[in-house]
Chain A
């Protein structure tokens, strides 16, 4: 386009290539540009290096060289100078499965595998279809069968025996799967023109957002049973799950509302002009665009929902953290709580970091196709 290019006939004789100056390449340059690019940063680098030098050898000798890796005798740990990782080997069954019957732990392992496996599959765009939705429904049925038992010759295990990582994952998946539709309806309701629906949704969102999650859980576990007749004793796990769904729903609703408001007015008007009904407009025009915008922010809330599952230990359910706290009451192993908590730290980090990395990937992916 524009003007035609002129072809230069001049002959350019290039000098032999010389390597770039040492200061601009290799490790030296990398160090210079990343650690010593000005006085300020150089000082910080030296300080950080000094701090590492002081703390790291101690940590390594505690965590690696002096540590006890495997023993079932806590006395061995008592005499060792380093960490007692043996506590994880000794207590991992309780930490991961809580009060679930010992011989049935394989069912918990299956539940964990199903949730993680299906979550990974759901991460790939090429699998996004109604089949995936169906797969989740089937998986939830399988998980319930595995956890509850009582059919196919499985031993019956009530929700009071649920615990550990399966409980954490079930609470998490339940919260997100149950909470997202609620969030969408609340967000739509909040922007509705019908005053009753609008005020109900605003009230619901603001009341739930106005109180801490612990309060919601206490309401669900303490106040609620006092209001209903005794025959209607709703299971503790379900009560906690409903509380967490409502809490997640209210927060996510505000994120979805952000997405709804970001859609240009023209889209709404065009849909109206095309004669679409409210639901057609919402389902085909508005929501697909709005949800795409809010996915990164939603992922943030989903990660928080995962961490929020730890609150259920306060109302007497054994999630991973609660089960660990109880497992560490054992007087023989009580001294090695830091080691066990480090294991839990790594566990949570793995889950949250992979979700965070995934949301970063989704964000990049969406940015590629965006043209405004």
Chain B
């Protein structure tokens, strides 16, 4: 009995002292051995990650994950999705339950440094916006004095609202509602004058919940910065590079006019940039520890950034978001891929 107790105690101590952040080995090896990439997603965010009527995952974040699978494993369907919540998302990454977090997580210095995780490359830029009913006659936030504002408690939008109103010396009444769906219902039902949320959230609410979308306008001005993109565990530079260049490959493809439809023709292209991207020059894939067809597979199976955007949140989707700042730098947006050289 004494020995049993001693053994148990030692075992318990060993478990307690085991460093929590040990690596199982390079992520890519683990992925190849397992045969699939495990991605943490939000699961409740239309256009980014949600289930369609057949229970299939759809969305921009989902496509980012599939692109990683196409690059590393050659097949976009070799993916597994794990629904994470705001509370579980970072732990899931830290403990190795997921390989990469493709979820709406805003890149901040605090998170990047304190959590043992690395932000890689933004795939979506968002910010907070103000939406009003046209009937109010408001043309800018300066006209909103005394308004009632619908906000989520503890959210970025709540903070932005208070900052913006304070900066303009205006008063407002906050209507705080815990649930995003009810917040939308309250606003379109006329319970408050102003709806404050991410601009993408506002546009999609207007397109899908508003009784008559034409009655509502987004006031000019985007407040706060919300760059969102895949997040990986710290300490695996190779995998971090693969995820980053997977994102860039889709942007570069759009910039060079390579789409999922014309990628086979483009493979014969003499253009040096396209040849490097599609693996016909300089063997860039090998430098990443992949084969040279990695980017070809991403574009062939998932498409370039523009295709992914339009399919999930843009004009070919019910959300109908404008490209806005999520456009190529050549067209005045923020998407800028480092050169493929």
CB distance from B40 to the nearest CB of A (A): 9
The verdict on B234 contacting chain A, using a C-beta distance below 8 Å, is no
| A231-B24, A331-B318 known; A236-B181 Cβ under 8 A | no
Interface residues of A, Cβ cutoff 8 Å to B: 90-91, 93-94, 97-102, 158, 160, 163, 218, 221-222, 225-231, 233, 236, 314-318, 323, 325-327, 329-332, 334-335, 337
Query: Quick check: A330 and B16 within 8 Å, CB to CB?
Result: no
What B residues does A318 contact at CB under 8 A?
A: 83
Return the chain A residue nearest B23 by Cβ.
Answer: A230
Q: Return the contact of A99 from the options B45, B55, B204, B318 (Cβ within 8 A).
A: B55
Contact status A236-B97, CB under 8 Å: yes
A225 to B84, CA, bound (A): 15
Say if the beta carbon of B214 comes within 8 Å of chain A. no
Measured between C-beta atoms, what is the minimum distance from B144 to chain A in Å?
A: 27
B91 contact from A90, A97, A225, A314, Cβ within 8 A: A225
**Contact between A222 and B24, CB atoms less than 8 A apart:** no
Contacts of A331 on B, CB cut-off 8 Å? 46-47, 204, 207-208, 317-319
Whether B82 contacts A330 by the Cβ 8 Å rule is no
- A337 with B88: CB separation less than 8 A: no
**B53, chain A: closest CB distance, angstroms:** 6
The answer to whether B44 touches A329, judged by C-beta atoms less than 8 angstroms apart, is yes
- The reply to whether B47 and A225 contact each other, CB–CB distance below 8 Å, is no
Q: A329 vs B55: C-alpha distance in the bound complex, in angstroms?
A: 12
B44 and A316 form a contact (CB under 8 A) = no
Say how far A224's CB is from chain B's closest CB, in angstroms.
9
- As a 0/1 sequence over residues 44 to 56 of chain B, the CB contacts with chain A under 8 angstroms (1 = contact) are 1111001111111
Once bound together, how far apart are the Cα atoms of A326 and B62, in whole Å?
Answer: 15
Interface size for B (C-beta < 8 A) is: 41
What A residues does B81 contact at CB under 8 A? 99, 160
Total of A-B residue pairs, C-beta within 8 Å: 106
Q: Which 6 A-B pairs have the closest CB atoms?
A: A316-B83, A331-B208, A225-B95, A331-B318, A329-B50, A102-B54
Distance from A162 Cβ to chain B, minimum over Cβ atoms (Å): 11
Is B209 close to A, CB under 8 A?
Answer: yes
If A315-B85, A316-B84 touch, whether A330 touches B94 (CB-CB below 8 Å) is no
Is B22's beta carbon under 8 Å from chain A? yes
* Least CB distance, A372 to chain B, in whole angstroms: 43
Query: Are A317's CB and B22's CB within 8 A?
Result: no
Q: Which of B15, B23, B51, B207 contacts A326 (CB 8 A)?
A: B51
Q: In this assembly, does B87 line the interface, its C-beta being within 8 Å of a C-beta of chain A?
A: yes
- Name the contact of B181 in the complex, choosing from A221, A222, A315, A337 (C-beta under 8 A): A337
CB contacts (< 8 Å) of A229 on chain B: these are 15, 18, 22
Distance, CA A98 to CA B209, complexed state (A): 24
Residues of B within 8 A of A226 (CB): 20, 91, 94-95
Q: Which residues of B contact A221 (CB under 8 A)?
A: 88, 91
B57 at the A interface (CB under 8 A): yes
